[in-house]
Structure 1
């Protein structure tokens, strides 16, 4: 629906409060939502925006105050309100769902509909034309976040009528990352983590009517996953373990069945995979009646020594227990599906061994060591915070915003003051929320005015904030755990590490601008002398060749600045000096290095 850019996209406009209340009431009734959830999904400040699709279908999108599309309808006379993926991420259980493997997701985003063979799980009792969500399939009782929304093309009974059913399952209307999604301010957001389905298991029922999960052979409603098919065609006759025996109320595995399950899990050491499971069983079947599974601890589980005697009988017994699904093919059986949500599979826990305990302990120790190293590094690292103080043209605006004109503001604080101010003064452009009508407020207009530049009547938020900061006085603060913060006027500048030619023939590394990072010239010179295994001296010997260059440590003032110093290290020592500064807690992004000798050669 939205695989191509929207045509005839109108400017968004605010929705009247009465219309918003009616819309919320209609949505709550349609999707059986509580008033509290309805208030979240139909918030105050809702905007409407008309559009046309690439198929010339007219529609309306309802946007949050931030600009994220929350609901949409297609058709001039249509009353159907469809939730977007933004809304479904806020309320993932609002719609019934169908899950599909991750390789299918890019095809849906590209504009394809969901086909029946691509459905892994689904909510029961779905009807044709019902609005549903499409999620990515995750094993182990996990339900992925909604990735698409659409209308059912068939009913749920048609999805599992037989293994050969083809055709479309869901007609996709909207997906994550399509052009409707791209209208939102949160378009760069990543999907949420899968949610745990154990709390929803009582509401979930089997999605494959007629197969083992709802069989008379003992599969309970705890299994909500559709089988992971490993074969799409071939063979005739399905071995599903169905019989005329009454359904047991508490299904249990035979000892051989339990032995089989444990052997497979111990062999694979991963979550159930239809393909790997089939490969394993094919190897067992090719070995004949004496087929066996060798576990990691060296013990052998032998089918021949069980009461079944042969693999074929063994597999049929496990199919009857509801663990697997089989098909008859030329007198043999083929595994076509496995059921990882079977109670016995869910309840299985691998045996603990001395090796597994030791490996787990090693991993825990390694994780703890890395956490301590990261914490220690973070403790010793300097942090540089850029600050701004109200100054000149910005003073009246801060007074109007009821803020102190003598304190220092971080960038986030300036942004909060600005947002609260423009909202309180009603300066947000009603046609486009990104723009602010700066000319409507004299104090703000003066704060953003820049000398010799024309000031427009309206600006984007970021542009207005940038202009305000440019008119404020720059400060910076250096923080280190265990020390009091140090504040200085002016912008924070990186430490300069430059290699230059000394007296035209010897290379030297010159270090300046380190005082603001709580480092002294004497300390740097002494430690670098040891690290570089050479003498260090101050800039006096570098720029005054008449002075004798000695092995002693001499620190001289920076030319033109009596309060600052510079340190020189013999040779090209950029890496050594940079590593030293990082070890002292200076973040790498605040170190600027260059080699002037290479530039001269070029």
Structure 2
């Protein structure tokens, strides 16, 4: 049904409270849910989205606040509300399920229907066309388990006919929706939840049936013999959350670490690297080579053997060190290794009080037969690489940030001032450059007030500039010549001169031609307002000068990110061509700011205002 992209997508809209309650009541009645379960599966803020399938069937999807599709209908007058896999992961028993071998699932996801030979387990008394889920039968270690629901479909025939001799072939389930199809991809694409371990009675219900495939490749295939489910095992014991090792088990783990380091780093060292002091061998080689997941290497006596794989790693209460081993000292441990012909030692001397390791035996049978494992050092290196990658991504993000400069040009009365200070009337200057020119002029003409060095004495050039009247509209307020004294604070002087200059700005973005324009640059406005009496919306405007934002693209990206409707229109009350305004349904300032910053807009140039008031 959704093996190809959806078309004719309409703008999604939040359901009114009354419509949401009606939807919840329908689902509660259809699936026999409690009110609390209904609230969880039909949450506040749910949206509706109309679409068409690739075969032009109309449908409606109901999307959760986080963007995950939760329910859908297919057909013009369909009353059936079908849950998505996102919903079934919240409540796995919402639909009866059939199981099939793991090798079949990729074919179902590709758009094939489930064939009768592919059914391993099916509940009795299922009706034709009844909605069902499909779960994959897997093994974790030697234990049978079931995945969460990964496919949703309708029974192609009643379940009591599946084992009929006349029904050895044919379709069992007609697939409607599957994990990783285009409906699923509309959501957050959450990872598949963990499998459920089967009890003995549940495992016995699953039959070891082969699955066939037709010549056209449109049906599910059977797994090779090696992938057939094993015989049921006894009901597993719950895994403990922490375990302890005995002294003998710690010694065995350290021996494994020694074999690991001999078979990897030590055997490739040149002979000039020896001898190695025992303490350096221990701290720099053996300790980093300890198993990162000890229970996968040696199962402690306190942990049931059948839990040694396939479960979450428990917390290890015992330090895997020489002190907790049966040897208690490093020298004793190494002498035992020497006795086993794994290495050669040299006794301590007066000049060298530490035992020396002069040779390692990489051809020892235990070294050759050693099975490598993930070490503590491997995890540390992986973590370091992840940190470095994240830092690199941050630097890359920083490098994508727009370079925005506020500039000023000498204008009217400031032209004579800057020429007198040694500047050029055609230069575009930053605030730092203006301050530097002014400070140099003040120092060269000894204009610092001797009584209060925070003040600057105004000479004729400065006084003339400050007292001159500005021409034109939109200029800064002039200083009244009657109120203007012969001295002024340095910061106030700088600000007043900048206010009399002509504003410019320059923007440089990666992959774009740099732009330098007259006029000050206004921040992007992100305003939340209540529209149409009660609906809150977020309006974005003033983004055009920043080069990297396209209105239509932003509207589409925010529609997906916010799971709400968006639109693009001219700014109300402004002349044509003044600029565009993007509307996002709901209070979405956080998502909008995040989107703008990922595009390289510095937060300094984003202004957020909430004019929606209390609702």
Normalising to structure 1: TM-score of the pair?
Answer: 0.42
- Greater relative contact order (CA < 8 Å, ≥ 6 in sequence): 2
Larger Cα-atom Rg: 2
TM-score by length of 2: 0.42
